[in-house]
Every structure is written in C-alpha cells, then in structure tokens.
C-alpha cells in the first residue's frame, strides 16, 4: 500500500462557526445565515450557510451572475421556481441552480423548512453576488 503525502498548507484553518451565533439576514426573505464566507473565515472559492423558512415565508426571486448554488432541503417541503418553472423540493432533497438562473423559494406548507446552501465561485465583490428581480414588500 502506498501512502500519499502532501505538502503542508500555507493557509491557516479558520474558526468553527456556530449558526446560533450568526445573525440572520432577512433582506430577501426567511432567515438566511452565511456561516462560512470571505468576511468571516477567509474562504476564497465559495460561501456556505443556512436558510430557515417558516410557513408562508418567501425568498424573493433573484439570480447570481457569478455563482452556481447548491441547495439542500434538510427538512420541510417547499415550492422552488427556477426560471419560471415550479417544482417541489422536499426533505432530504437537493437542487443545483446554475449561474444566471432566476430562483424563488416559497414555504407553502404548514411546517418550517430548513436548508443548507453553498454558492461558488465568488463574485468579484459581495454587492455583485445577487441580482434581485422581485421588489421587496412595502412595509410602510
């Protein structure tokens, strides 16, 4: 048996990140928490996080000009619309969202849905990572 050895990495291993200690971002809907990113752990290829959608909540339609998205539904059952095509995404199922595909997620069920997502490669700057195609609700 051959043992494969590799050179030590010049990159330092980042910290362990707790979901509970990560503040939610609700700008696009739901409870989105980016756990691993360039800003907090120095990732260089992608970012990863979680999404919780309570019954009736929606992640507004948007698309990513630089990143593909890997979306895993750990629990729940939701309606995902990809470039206008509706489909069900149930517990323990995943969907790949290619670069440039508009997507929207609606929890039309009666229980909370929980997801893990990963997007990569990274956009050149964070503000270029998402393009919203659905207006934010008027909360006045």
Which long-range contacts does 89-94 make (Cβ < 8 Å, 24+ apart)? 94/70
C-alpha R_g of the chain: 17
The per-residue pLDDT for 138 is 61
The answer to whether residues 66 and 60 touch, using CB atoms and an 8 Å cutoff, is no
Domains of the chain: 32-132 (2.60.120.10)
Averaged pLDDT, 39-45? 93
The per-residue pLDDT for 112 is 98
Question: Which pTM value belongs to this model?
Answer: 0.87
């Amino acid at each position: 048996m051959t043992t494969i050895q590799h050179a030590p990495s010049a990159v330092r291993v980042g910290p362990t990140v707790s979901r509970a200690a990560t503040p939610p971002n609700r700008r696009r809907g739901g409870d989105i928490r980016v756990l691993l990113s360039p800003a907090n752990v120095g990732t260089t290829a992608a970012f990863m996080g979680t999404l919780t959608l309570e019954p009736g909540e929606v992640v507004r339609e948007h698309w990513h000009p630089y990143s593909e998205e890997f979306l895993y539904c750990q629990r729940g059952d939701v309606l995902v619309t990809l470039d206008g095509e509706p489909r069900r995404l149930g517990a323990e199922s995943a969907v790949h969202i290619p670069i440039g595909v508009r997507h929207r997620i609606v929890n039309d069920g009666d229980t909370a849905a929980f997801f893990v997502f990963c997007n990569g490669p990274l956009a050149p700057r964070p503000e270029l990572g998402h393009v919203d195609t659905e207006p934010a609700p008027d909360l006045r």
